[in-house]
Structure 1
């Protein structure tokens, strides 16, 4: 049983030699007093203790009492080994927390049988502890993974309401802190290329690596658990990727969608501004046309000799005629303007996030402390 640590507290040299020979397969520690036994048990935390009763200094009963009062050894099995054979001695040993009792001179077969019994119990306990630890770690990992996915899910929603690259950077770094990622991010958009670090400091080497990473594959691992994620509009340098490659890939997909959304909205706004300018020009031209129509019609009537002069009634009739056409043209222009206003209102509504995301966006405006990358 090489994995089992056995502490023997025995002051008799002959007994020490015999026990050492018989139990050589265990990881043995042998001491000769109760005080030394307590010290060794505290330091080594053995799996099993063989304890003599008649010891120099504090006896075995007191030693066991103190062991049971300490967190490290309160549940460690204790086998008493003594020349005392009365029932009262066994009851006292049991009363202070003993698990078993062997009388001296001990029978080798009995000792080995009891050691085998306790060893099996210890091995089962050790395996159960390992299984429990493994299960705990698995649950913790699942909880951590779920929390990271939830953070990225919030980022995905937030990208729908980011209207510029600066706000996208802030949301990205906030989420990166939540999932425990130190990084440098480079975004390529229709406004240019911008590189920022989560801690605000970009090393020259980091900048050079990102600038030269265009020929790398989509996910490139290197060095001590570091990686570069290369998407169409973004490049991400990660300090310690661990087992989060898939998670960060999802993170980058959301970022890519956010960049494309901002570029699409920018193009839409540009088109709206163009329409507004065109409408303004059309209105100016219509005003000029009204003036020309009025003058040209008057001149045409006079040049044809239809009348030598327009009296007041003729002027009014002509003005009403031109006015009716003007109103019709103006109505069409107004409809065009209303359509333009409607488009602008839709864009403004798109800029307003739902209430459940407003708090997230307000918090993310504060970048907080960063994580050093190099």
Structure 2
């Protein structure tokens, strides 16, 4: 988060503007206006890094203001965080369709506002770093798109899936296929290895994540769902949201050929998602196989270590027994040579008996440990 980032606040309520300014003025260079038309004029004359935009305003509302900002090349890349008391999924979808990066409820929480701005600015910086590479890749994809029919896109996607080594590779294959259909969207992949969520430019925005959460939260059964003029595909481990792909085309005027093209596109995208699920399952199986091999190696090492410990314990027990036998023999011989009295011999014998009891107790404990290790080794041999 940079202290020099310029943030434009747009709200027709002066008190709300004052509260927003007080929250952000220590970290950002703040400008504020009270209408959508003023916001368009300021963005035409100045450069901003982010806009916090009220939805409900007289004249141009927030959605229309955002659409006009995105239609202007000079302001198209400025991320917009909508600010509204209306936060239903339909409202968030309108914000997403207009080009918003996130949606902040009213009344706002200062911590949430600061966190959302920091995340949006961070994602924008990452996207700018990758913009050169992405533009080159997009040009390469678009140059080959005209040579491939709709079926060819699916076949090329299946071929590309075979080279995918992880979830981000699978997601990129989906985005490449969508681009060949002149579509775009965002995807979330949840498998054994990790959780991945992104769009064709980088990580999902907070608004995109909220839409994917909505798709996941719906009841099982309907895998393909309309979301206004968009379509969601919820297939368990893979959830995809495709922008401007209509399922419900009966209530709008649309050329018959275009309507049929969209219908085929929905079927083709569904096949893309199904192919992605198969590849994710294969990657998960490969990971499980590697994990099982690691466990077997660990069991083998443990079995070897326990066997070695058991052998050492047995050798130590035998050594102690030999030492005790030698001590007893030497003491008995010393009785004859030293000419000790009966009391002295009894005194020494008692000392030897006490030490012998300690030694035997230690040997008994050692034997119990050895028996336990033997049982463990037996079980490992059964499962190894």
Which TM-score bucket, shorter chain as reference?
Answer: 0.3 to 0.5
Could you state the TM-score of these two structures normalised by the residue count of structure 2?
0.38
Rg comparison, structure with higher value: 1
TM-score of the superposed pair, with normalisation by structure 1: 0.39
